[in-house]
Amino acid sequence: MKTLKTFLIIAAAALTCGCAAFTSGDIRVDKDTAKEMLENNTLTPFSDIQFSWKLYPYHSPSEAIGRGYISPDTGQFKTPEIKPVPADPDDRTKLLHKARRIFSEAGLYDKEKGRGTLHLQLETMNKWTYGELLRSHLTETAFIFILPSSLRTTYLLTADFKTSTGTAKVEVIGTNKTVFHLLMAPLYPLFMPSSGETGLLKQMLWRSATDIYDTLKRAEKAAKENPAAVPVPAPAAAQPAPGTAKPLEPGQQPEQAPSAPAAQPAAVPAQGAAAPASPPATAVTAPTQTPPPSEEPLDD
């Protein structure tokens, strides 16, 4: 009995500690860009950061058995679409505070002196928990302590914002790969899956900050080189003064002008008033007629 209990304790410890997480992706921050960003004080920061987080939970391949259907149009077999679930409110709030702190240190966020809103959206694909793994992956994967098994969790961080030349979008993709094997137990304290996710998200936020800074700088440079390409905001509509026409909006047809008032009859001079002098008549002079030449015979 004691031997079985000891074996179960060792097996449970191996299940929870026999793994290590390794991060990857295009998340490296350029040192020169980061240094320039931290020393630059000319760019206008954002005044607000809005954050949303979508989770696509882990699903074992065996869970899709019996859930598919055949499309009546194409006759092909299709699996049900995985729908996202909202993240835990506490985790979302913590990550939002971390994003504001990182962007504030980068000089891209200032609630009082900033202008504009930065929209951040994080999508996590294949998000798993230990409870889900114990019910599916760890029990369905044979020889997990002899042959290594791995799970990949992908993170997509998207930033939408406005620049001096229009709207822009920046995307950063990172992956947290967790390897399960008995030999990974010594590496567990250094490469825990939870700490791997925390470090990966922090690195992705810094990479997103440098990419946003580079985009803002290039947009500002383009606006200086080509001022005509900068969109001019429409002025606020002013109330028209009484008696003045209302300005037309772009694409609006002008209203039909009111018909002109009827012509007023000519004023009749009052009695006793001198009548206006009529212009003098021009005398017509008859054209001068030249007499015909004389028909008398010429002297010989």
Q: How far apart are the first and last CA of the chain?
A: 180
The pairing of strands 117-127 and 48-57 is: parallel
Please check whether residue 95 lies inside any domain of the structure.
Answer: yes
What's the mean pLDDT when you consider all of the chain?
75
Sign of CA dihedral 21, 101, 86, 80: negative
Q: Which pair of tokens denotes residue 204?
A: 């992705």
Q: What local confidence, expressed as pLDDT, does residue 247 receive?
A: 55
pLDDT single digits (tens) 186-232: 777 788 887 788 999 999 999 999 999 999 999 888 877 776 555 55
Q: Is residue 171 over pLDDT 90? A: yes
Instruction: Give every strand in the sheet of 19-25, ordered side by side.
Output: 19-25, 166-180, 149-163, 117-127, 48-57, 85-86
Please check whether residue 280 lies inside any domain of the structure.
Answer: no
Q: Which of 74-78, 205-209, 251-255 holds the top average pLDDT?
A: 205-209
Q: In the chain, which ranges are E strands?
A: 19-25, 48-57, 69-70, 77-78, 85-86, 117-127, 149-163, 166-180
Cβ neighbours around 241 below 10 Å, total: 7
* Contact between 31 and 192 (Cβ < 8 Å): no
Q: Is residue 273 over pLDDT 70? A: no
Q: Give residue 190's domain range.
A: 13-224
- In total, how many domains does the chain have? 1
Q: Residue 300's pLDDT band (boundaries 50, 70, 90)?
A: very low
* Beta bridge pairs of residue 30: none
Please check whether residue 244 lies inside any domain of the structure.
Answer: no
Please check whether residue 293 lies inside any domain of the structure.
Answer: no
Which DSSP symbol is given to 68? Answer: -
Please check whether residue 82 lies inside any domain of the structure.
Answer: yes
Percent of the chain with pLDDT over 70: 60
pLDDT single digits (tens) 97-151: 999 999 999 999 999 989 999 999 999 998 887 777 777 666 655 555 566 778 8
Q: Is residue 283 over pLDDT 90? A: no
Q: Which pair of tokens denotes residue 290?
A: 């030249």
Please check whether residue 269 lies inside any domain of the structure.
Answer: no
Q: Residue 20's pLDDT band (boundaries 50, 70, 90)?
A: confident
Please check whether residue 229 lies inside any domain of the structure.
Answer: no
Q: Residue 68's pLDDT band (boundaries 50, 70, 90)?
A: low
Q: Residue 250's pLDDT band (boundaries 50, 70, 90)?
A: low
Please check whether residue 248 lies inside any domain of the structure.
Answer: no
3-state class (DSSP) for residue 203: helix
